[in-house]
Amino acid sequence: MKVISYNLRKHRAAGELVHLVERYGADALCLQEADTTDIPDEIAGLRLADSTQRNRLGLAVYYRENTYRAVDVRALALKKSLHDRVLKPAEERLLGVRLHDIDENHDVIVASFHAAPLTALNSLRRHQIRTALAELQQLGEGVPAIMVGDYNYPVFKERLGQHVRDQGYELNLSDSRTYTRYRFFRGHYDFATSVGFEIDRVRTLPQGLSDHLPILVTARPAAGVRRTVEIAEAETGAA
């Protein structure tokens, strides 16, 4: 499964999405800072699962419709920073979608996430990440899940990684930095957090019109997790 995550920088990079999907063969596309009133229902074979509705700059998740079927969607407002309360850029900072793999006959969860900006404390962002990961399990306990997006967490990532592992997830950085706008804030901002997936690679893609570089996550559900889910679904069907 190939998942692209891209912060569009106030929708400026929206015109690059068709090329990105086609060039890298994405199976899912997770967007941040998208003008959700101006995004198409389909991008190069990917179908819009849903987008946030209460954000000035929103989230969206697309999936390859000849491979997956959307089962459930959940959007969530997270604990607000002062920036959110004053400027109101984002009411909902998590959008998760449960997808059914038609050929493999198992489900996965893909989510787009956008943490509070750098004006907030790391402790607030950790709270948002912790809440978001817990909420994804409401879409399907034990279902492999991957949450990608703009975590706005350029320093002390080792501590964040430990917090994520304490929840049973793994944090994966890309192979090079993903934010370049300000000299003193350059670094890794866009991550992949997952459970039940084997992450083969997280690759930073070439920069476009956004100050964030898109990332490409190549992942597959862990074999043991797939088997556990299949057994559980079989037992549920038999009951």
* pLDDT tens readout for residues 125-135: 899 999 999 99
- Average pLDDT score over residue span 49-70: 93
Task: State the angle between helix axes of 157-166 and 122-136 in degrees (0 to 180), rounded to the nearest 10.
Answer: 30
Give the pLDDT of residue 86: 47
* Per-residue confidence (pLDDT) for residue 183, from 0 to 100: 60
3-14 pLDDT, tens digit each: 999 999 999 999
Instruction: Using alpha carbons, list the distances in angstroms from residue 86 to 73, 81, 89, 92, 117.
Output: 28, 9, 9, 15, 13
For 225, other C-beta atoms within 10 Å of its C-beta total 18
- Domains, the chain: 2-238 (3.60.10.10)
Return the structure tokens found at 18.
């068709």
C-alpha dihedral, 118 to 115 to 212 to 67, nearest 10°: 170
Amino acid identity, residue 77?
A
pLDDT digits (tens, 9 = 90+) for 68-98: 999 999 998 876 655 555 455 557 899 999 9
117 or 38, which is more confident: 38
The average pLDDT across 135-142 equals 92
